[in-house]
Amino acid sequence: MSILVLYDDLKARGFEPFASTRPMAEMRAGTALIRDRWTSIFPPQDAVQFVAGGRLATFDEPSAAQAASGTLPSGTIVANARFVPAFATNLPKAMQRAATTSLWRAKDRLAAIRLRAPLDISAFADGTLTLDELFAGTGAISDLEGWWLEEIWDFIRLLPDQLLSDITRLAMRETVQGAPPPHASVIGEHPVIVVADPGTVIEPHVVFDASAGPILVQPGTHIRAFTRITGPCYIGRDVQIMGGDIVTSSIGDVSKVRGEFSSSIVLGHSNKGHDGFVGHSYLGRWVNLGASTVTSNLKNTYGNVALWTPAGERDTGMQFLGTMFGDHVKTGIGLRLTTGTVLGAGANVYGAMPPKVVAPFSWGDGEPYDTFHADKFCETAVRVMSRRHVELSERARKHLESVHAGRWSVERAT
């Protein structure tokens, strides 16, 4: 049995506000989920699993990896989920090479190994085990191209490079082909790919600006008139772009975006259906931004942006950084978010301007926030998800209840 296990080490487990609700394998980096990036360079696996400690044991999403349990057999590939592999330019050759490889290096560090002997999953319990400490099977050593995520803000810092690399490499594949309709305007020399599909709608007066990088639009997307999309930019399946200026962003499947959206990532199934600037931000899954929610991504001093982390506030070294929206976050009408804001999973905030960090499942228009009760939160999640024809499974409900019970507090977030 061939198994691929994506491992959240101790550093990955501190990547809030997302680490409480999902493994790194199910985060979007560049155009794709980290899980899909790993599976794209290996031969087909019988199972794709993740290891992230007991905190995510009941994590459940359609088509997502499941938590590993018991004993991993010899031959299992264990990969560090903080490494984001680049897409292979020669896929058959990459898969053939992977079949005989036991160690994968990336920038002089081990990114993945093939286990020589069975290993109990408890070895990964606290996240301190490194791949260097594991015994690899006998075989070749391969080098991987890609990017290491050292901090949560690296998703945003690395986004332009990842988009440029991803779309350029994907454009070489026969399955990723198609051109914009003649009534769309195209500027620039980079490729603009609109994958052919009867459900895709590109209305007149849409502008694709590929001067700075390529653009890829997946099937089922509807882009309304008077939208300008500036590359490098990725738009996933069944996305609705409802007008505005979309720049250097990655928009995951079944999402809605309107207005000015720049240098940002939408994991998927989220809604920014109204005007309001969002820049250098990350929207988790099932996020809903109220009309005229605005993020600041640049300080008035033009200095580096600081961001809260579980280890305390940190200097990101980035001049531009907006808001990290955890899964199931909701914002009220006209909410203003300062540079480097963190909104914990399930937070429902409204009013004028919240503090730079809001704990998970907070509710209200300012501190001290009320707590969104777990049962009421799940009732809301069921309604939200059903609008996109997704069911909240009993396992997923238990997971969210577990996240609620173990949420980090306002005191910890100061």
What confidence tens digit (pLDDT) does each residue in 243-271 have?
999 999 999 999 999 999 999 999 999 99
Q: Burial, 357: exposed, middle or buried (Cβ in 10 Å; 0-12, 13-18, 19+)?
A: buried
Residue 90 backbone dihedrals phi, psi, to 5 degrees? -120, 90
User: Is 138 in the same domain as 159?
Assistant: no
User: Is 136 in the same domain as 183?
Assistant: no
How many folded domains does the chain comprise? 2
CA distances from 359 to 171, 254, 323, 374, 401 (A): 41, 27, 14, 14, 15
The domain that holds 249 is classified in CATH as 2.160.10.10
What confidence tens digit (pLDDT) does each residue in 83-115 have?
999 998 877 888 788 888 899 999 989 999 999
Task: Name the CA radius of gyration of the chain, rounded.
Answer: 21
Whole-angstrom Cα distance, residue 312 to residue 46? Answer: 40
Report yes or no on 411 lying in a domain. no
Compute the mean pLDDT over every residue in the chain, rounded to the nearest whole number.
94
User: Is 179 in the same domain as 260?
Assistant: yes
User: Is 211 in the same domain as 135?
Assistant: no
User: Is 159 in the same domain as 137?
Assistant: no
Whether the CB-CB separation of 250 and 266 falls below 8 Å is answered with yes
Specify the pLDDT at position 411.
63
Whether the CB-CB separation of 210 and 233 falls below 8 Å is answered with no
User: Is 129 in the same domain as 181?
Assistant: no
User: Is 95 in the same domain as 167?
Assistant: no
User: Is 63 in the same domain as 15?
Assistant: yes
Whole-angstrom Cα distance, residue 332 to residue 409? Answer: 22
Report yes or no on 410 lying in a domain. no
User: Is 263 in the same domain as 215?
Assistant: yes
Specify the pLDDT at position 46.
81
Question: What is the domain range of residue 58?
Answer: 3-150
What confidence tens digit (pLDDT) does each residue in 374-393 have?
999 999 999 999 999 999 99
Whole-angstrom Cα distance, residue 396 to residue 28? Answer: 20
Q: Output the tens digit of pLDDT for each of the chain's 414 residues.
A: 689 999 999 999 999 999 999 999 999 999 999 999 999 988 777 899 999 999 899 999 999 999 999 999 999 999 999 999 999 887 788 878 888 889 999 998 999 999 999 999 999 999 999 999 987 666 789 999 999 999 999 999 999 999 999 999 999 887 888 999 999 999 999 999 999 899 999 999 999 999 999 999 999 999 999 999 999 999 999 999 999 999 999 999 999 999 999 999 999 999 999 999 999 999 999 999 999 999 999 999 999 999 999 999 999 999 999 999 999 999 999 999 999 999 999 999 999 899 999 999 999 998 889 999 999 999 999 999 999 999 999 999 999 999 999 999 866 444
User: Is 56 in the same domain as 133?
Assistant: yes
> Can you read off the two tokens belonging to residue 402?
């577990």
Whole-angstrom Cα distance, residue 319 to residue 227? Answer: 27
Report yes or no on 217 lying in a domain. yes
Whole-angstrom Cα distance, residue 199 to residue 251? Answer: 18
Whether the CB-CB separation of 321 and 152 falls below 8 Å is answered with no
User: Is 174 in the same domain as 208?
Assistant: yes
Report yes or no on 414 lying in a domain. no
Whole-angstrom Cα distance, residue 366 to residue 378? Answer: 23
Whether the CB-CB separation of 27 and 18 falls below 8 Å is answered with yes
Domain final residue pick, 124, 150, 176: 150
User: Is 282 in the same domain as 159?
Assistant: yes
Report the amino acid identity of residue 246: I
